[in-house]
Structure 1
Amino acid sequence: MDELFGTDGLDYLDYLLNKYNESENTTDPTYVVEKPVFFCPAKAVNEFGAKFIPFFYYSIFLLGYFGNGLVLFTLYMYEKLQTVTNIFLLNLVISNLLFASALPFLAIYHSSEWIFGGFMCKVVSSAFSIGYYSSILFLTLMTFDRYLAVVHAIAAAKSRKRLYAVISSIVVWFISVVASMKEIILHGVWKSPFDGLMCKETGYSEEILETWRLVTYYQQFLVFFLLPLFMVMYCYASITVRILATRLKEKCRTIKLIFVIIFTFFACWTPFNVVNLLRAIQLSYGDKSDGPCPVQDSLDFAYYVTRNLAYLYCGISPVLYSFVGKKFQSHFKRLIGKHVPCVKRRLSLSSHTTRTTSQATTPNSAYE
Structure 2
Amino acid sequence: MVVTSSRCRSTGLSVLVVTSSRCRSAGLSERAEDKAQMKATTNFSYSRNDSNCTSTNNLSQVIFPLLYTILFLVGITMNGLAMWVFFKIPSKSNFIIFLKNTVISDLLMILTFPFKILSDAKLVSWVLRGFVCQVTQVVFYFTMYISILFLGLITIDRYQKATSPFRTSTSRSLLGAKILSTAIWVSMFALSLPNMILTNKKKTPKNVKKCALLKSEFGLVWHEIVNYICQLIFWVNLAVIVVCYILISKELYKSYKRTRCTGKASKKTVNLKVFIIIAVFFICFVPFHFTRIPYTLSQTRAVFECAAQATLFHVKESTLWLTSLNACLDPFIYFFLCKSFRRSLLATLRERAASAELRARMREQNDADDTDETPL
Unaligned runs of 5+ in 1: 1-25, 345-368
Deviation at 1:286, TM superposition (A): 4.5
> Does the C-alpha gap of structure 1 residues 114 and 216 become closer, same or farther in structure 2, counting only changes over 3 Å?
farther
> Does the C-alpha gap of structure 1 residues 56 and 188 become closer, same or farther in structure 2, counting only changes over 3 Å?
farther
Equivalent pairs: percent with the same residue? 25
Matches within 5 A, 1:263-278: 263-278=279-294
> Does the C-alpha gap of structure 1 residues 81 and 71 become closer, same or farther in structure 2, counting only changes over 3 Å?
same
Q: Structure with the greater relative contact order (CA < 8 A, sep ≥ 6): 1 or 2?
A: 2
Matched, 1:183 2:184: no
Selected match of 2:348 from 335, 348, 352: 335
Counterpart Cα distance in 2 of 1:47 and 1:168: 44
Matches within 5 A, 1:294-309: 294-309=307-322
1:261 alignment partner AA: I
Deviation at 1:56, TM superposition (A): 2.8
Deviation at 1:163, TM superposition (A): 0.5
Deviation at 1:52, TM superposition (A): 2.5
Partner of 2:367: none
Selected match of 1:140 from 152, 168, 172: 152
Partner of 1:354: none
1:186 alignment partner AA: L
Counterpart Cα distance in 1 of 2:171 and 2:161: 10
Counterpart Cα distance in 1 of 2:338 and 2:178: 25
Counterpart Cα distance in 2 of 1:61 and 1:138: 22
Matched, 1:239 2:255: no
Query: 1:97–1:131: 8 Å Cα contact kept in structure 2?
Result: no
Partner of 1:356: none
1:55 alignment partner AA: L
Q: Which has the larger radius of gyration?
A: 2
Partner of 2:110: 100
> Does the C-alpha gap of structure 1 residues 150 and 209 become closer, same or farther in structure 2, counting only changes over 3 Å?
same
Deviation at 1:164, TM superposition (A): 1.6
Unaligned runs of 5+ in 2: 1-30, 40-45, 358-376
Matched, 1:81 2:97: no
Counterpart Cα distance in 2 of 1:284 and 1:122: 16
> Does the C-alpha gap of structure 1 residues 285 and 190 become closer, same or farther in structure 2, counting only changes over 3 Å?
closer
Counterpart Cα distance in 1 of 2:54 and 2:197: 30
Provide TM-score, normalisation by structure 1.
0.70
Query: 1:148–1:156: 8 Å Cα contact kept in structure 2?
Result: no
Deviation at 1:74, TM superposition (A): 1.8
2:273 alignment partner AA: L
Counterpart Cα distance in 2 of 1:326 and 1:99: 22
Give every structure 1 segment of 4 or more consecutive aligned residues whose post-TM-superposition deviation is greater than 6 Å: 37-40, 117-121
Deviation at 1:54, TM superposition (A): 2.2
Counterpart Cα distance in 2 of 1:122 and 1:297: 21
Partner of 2:176: 164
Deviation at 1:196, TM superposition (A): 5.6
Deviation at 1:137, TM superposition (A): 1.1
Counterpart Cα distance in 1 of 2:138 and 2:236: 23
- Find the residue that maps to 1:216 and give its secondary structure: helix
* Greater mean deviation of Cα atoms: 327-336 or 265-274: 327-336
Deviation at 1:68, TM superposition (A): 1.4
* Greater helix proportion: 2
Partner of 1:259: 275
Deviation at 1:272, TM superposition (A): 0.8
Query: 1:268–1:309: 8 Å Cα contact kept in structure 2?
Result: yes
